[in-house]
A = this chain, B = another copy of it.
């Protein structure tokens, strides 16, 4: 059983955002899978997906603090600067975290740990609404 569906996520400001429920609600086919996988793939190069702690907004804020220091906007070595100071750091952050996640599915739901949630990591100041190509496959 295969399903492939492109979904459009709500526009978010720069930062780390919990989107597990938004994605699950856009996937009516998820409930039909007894065992399988879900591949979530962002069609962009300046935003990323990761799994992390789903309870404290503090954690998501600290993600932003760390990433902004690790990949500084004002580094003298950037040469790709035509699209603004947030662009090249956004590309690096996007690859450090990656554009896609593969999640286990069991009994019609994402098979995540108690504290795991999907983060949309928006690395641009104005990234706009991001598109996700989701592929679901498995057994009913």
Chain A residues proximal to chain B, CB less than 8 Å: 2, 4, 35-37, 39, 41-45, 50-53, 56, 58-59, 61-63, 65-66, 69-71, 75, 77-80, 88, 91-92, 94-104, 106, 111-116, 119, 131, 133, 135, 137-139
Interface of A is mostly: mixed
| Contact among B65, B79, B102 with A100 in the assembled complex (CB-CB below 8 Å) | B102
Number of copies: 3
User: 7 tightest CB-CB pairs across the interface, nearest first?
Assistant: A43-B113, A58-B80, A65-B77, A50-B95, A45-B53, A58-B79, A4-B35
* Contact assessment for A63 and B91 in the assembled complex, using a CB-CB cutoff below 8 Å: yes
Complex: how many Å from CA A119 to CA B82?
A: 21
